[in-house]
Amino acid sequence: AVMVYVVGSNLESANGLATKDIEEMIDSDYDEDLMDIYLCTGGASKWHTSEIDEDEIAVYKLESGKLDKLDTINTSTMASPNTLQSFINIAYEDTDCDCYDLVLWNHGGGAVVGFGADENAYYQAMTMPEIGTAIGGSNLIKSGRRFEFIGFDACLMGMLEVATTLDDYANYLIASEELIPGMGWDYTCLGAITDSGDFRGENSAQIIIDAYAKFYKEETRFHGDYSLACMDLSKTGKVVESFNLLSADGIDELTSGDYSVVARARANTKAFGRMG
């Protein structure tokens, strides 16, 4: 089961980008006997499909190329952790699968800003602690299950702080250190996932990342850097240990007055979020 949390925002109201990605999911020719796709939609002042009402937050299941509404969620904003948790619960209780995946679709600002910008609620976002609370309190996690992967079709979410928030709830994290173009992921790859018959997180991630790279390599309108990575969340703890050692070394340099050492190291470090 693939759960996609779609905060439409101005990406949808201005350019219909959420609608285009939903159309990609429908056109992906995925095997409905092997994959269930659930959508939670809201947070846009206008939708470019008549099947979605901008005045409600609703949960849909893709059925035979159409959106089948399962329920509405009576919360005021897509930025509420209660909304995300309710969506996961509705989808989880509707199906019984071996593997569960979660994709969060919209704007992203990393661990500092968080995820999502609900256009109907003054562009409110969800912080990483709120996302962790929502997922951790869901019935799926309470039942002892884990997501195979949690993915962010959103900018700048490939951060260690994001990984440490989610490593108790998923096997893998798919996210970008860089800005993500408005066209986002290439969801036509969902068909390739069901064709492979392998729904483990690392296999799904490889297919998603390969499709993403191929799309932007061939997309002539796009001129900039792009990245998408899969992180094995079982290794997060070791990365945190290494990062803490690095921080301690930096503190030692600063307290001893060797500011230039830290400044040079920072200047030579790969930076993200500056895409033209």
Greater pLDDT, 253 or 161: 161
Position 101 scores a pLDDT of 98
Greater pLDDT, 19 or 223: 19
How far apart CA 248 and CA 135 sit, in angstroms, is 32
CB under 8 Å to 65, separation ≥6 — which residues? 26
How far apart CA 196 and CA 199 sit, in angstroms, is 8
DSSP at 121: G
Structure tokens at 253: 């340099």
pLDDT digits (tens, 9 = 90+) for 27-83: 999 999 999 999 999 999 999 999 999 999 999 999 999 999 999 999 999 999 999
Residue whose C-alpha is closest to residue 205's, from 239, 226, 234, 232 = 232
How far apart CA 236 and CA 245 sit, in angstroms, is 14
Sequence-ordered strand ranges (E) for 186-235: 229-232
Position 276 scores a pLDDT of 41
Of the listed ranges 5-14, 143-152, 220-229, 248-257, the least confidently predicted one is 220-229
Q: Which helix (H) or strand (E) holds 15?
A: helix 9-15
Structure tokens at 36: 């269930």
How far apart CA 33 and CA 238 sit, in angstroms, is 39
pLDDT digits (tens, 9 = 90+) for 178-228: 999 999 999 999 999 999 999 999 999 999 999 999 999 998 787 778 899
Stretch 94-111: mean pLDDT, rounded?
A: 96
DSSP-based three-state secondary structure for 154: coil
Sequence-ordered strand ranges (E) for the chain: 2-7, 37-42, 58-63, 66-72, 101-105, 115-118, 124-126, 147-153, 170-175, 229-232
Let me know if 39 is exposed, middle or buried by CB neighbors in 10 A (0-12, 13-18, 19+).
buried
Position 274 scores a pLDDT of 66
How far apart CA 201 and CA 73 sit, in angstroms, is 28
Structure tokens at 35: 């994959």
Beta carbons within 10 angstroms of residue 70's beta carbon:
16
How far apart CA 47 and CA 235 sit, in angstroms, is 40
Residue whose C-alpha is closest to residue 148's, from 93, 187, 205 = 205
Asked whether 181 and 226 are in contact (CB, 8 A), the reply is: yes
pLDDT digits (tens, 9 = 90+) for 110-145: 999 999 999 999 999 999 999 999 999 999 999 999
Does pLDDT of 275 surpass 60? no
